[in-house]
Amino acid sequence: MRVAVLSDLHANLEALEAVLEDARARDATAFLVLGDIVGYGADPQAVLDGVRSLPGATLIAGNHDLAAVGRFDVSLFNSVAATAIRWTAGQLDDATRAELGTWEPRATTPEALLVHGSVRDPAAEYIVNETRAAASFAADDFALCFFGHTHLPVLYAQVDGRVAGRMLADDEEIALPEGRTLLNPGSVGQPRDGDPRASYLLFDPEARTARVRRVAYDIAGAQRKIRAAGLPDVLAERLAEGR
């Protein structure tokens, strides 16, 4: 069994389509989606429809998804993110808005705990270093947790009480460490590690291995739609830089 883990899709349909094609070619049959499905990009409804129709999918909400339906305080966003989320709110149909009203930023599956931000604050906190990772290890007794929100593919392991983190390279096979693990698949729709390719993670629960996949996609197409929608230009520019 192969599980594809996707986070921070950010309404980027071109990136989602490329990632799904890559995941299906590698026999992914289940999907875990860690939130921030919308926000920043130009295709919020289409990307939500795309992930909702995935077979065997577990979906949680990110802070942008919650903000789009008034469940997260937009005054905590920077001005570009706030502008984008107000535009996004007007793009969603009523059924989608009602559904987003019920999603939580945390879920438990047979494979793992899922959170958008962190275990101690699933909607908002960024796990950006080993201190923050240690706080999440202390907040619950999970063996494996997938998280998103930082847009960086990274692994934090807790072995014999000590927490160590490292970035994950494209297509590197990782054997999950003995002990406990926090894993971030990076961002499908707005990578921020300097590599503009979409990022997601393939997980094999039986073998306990994982692999980050970086996938080229039609960046120019996504940029054209952002500009045509009248969204802030920086949201188009940053896709080409992966920042």
Give the footprint of Zn ion on this chain (CB under 5 A): 8, 36
Q: Which two tokens stand for residue 111?
A: 């494979």
Closer CB to Zn ion, 164 or 234, in the complex: 234
Closest C-alpha to 211, from 57, 22, 53: 22
Closer CB to Zn ion, 10 or 213, in the complex: 10
Task: Work out how close the CB of 208 gets to Zn ion at its nearest, in angstroms, rounded to a whole number.
Answer: 27
Torsion of CA 172, 6, 144, 208, to 10 degrees: -40
Task: Work out how close the CB of 187 gets to Zn ion at its nearest, in angstroms, rounded to a whole number.
Answer: 6
Closer CB to Zn ion, 36 or 43, in the complex: 36
CA–CA separation, 72 vs 66, rounded Å? 5
Amino acid identity of residue 185, one-letter, is P
Task: Work out how close the CB of 209 gets to Zn ion at its nearest, in angstroms, rounded to a whole number.
Answer: 26
Q: Which two tokens stand for residue 28?
A: 């992914």
The secondary structure of residue 208, as a DSSP letter, is T
Closer CB to Zn ion, 20 or 66, in the complex: 66
Closer CB to Zn ion, 120 or 192, in the complex: 192
Distances (CA, A) of 125 to 16, 111, 119, 129, 136: 25, 23, 9, 12, 10
Task: Work out how close the CB of 207 gets to Zn ion at its nearest, in angstroms, rounded to a whole number.
Answer: 29
Q: How many CB atoms lie within 10 A of CB 173?
A: 11
DSSP string spanning 89-147? HTTS-HHHHHHHTT--SEEE-SS-EEESS-SSSTTT----SHHHHHHHHHH---SEEE-
Task: Work out how close the CB of 23 gets to Zn ion at its nearest, in angstroms, rounded to a whole number.
Answer: 19
Closer CB to Zn ion, 149 or 214, in the complex: 149
Task: Work out how close the CB of 236 gets to Zn ion at its nearest, in angstroms, rounded to a whole number.
Answer: 16
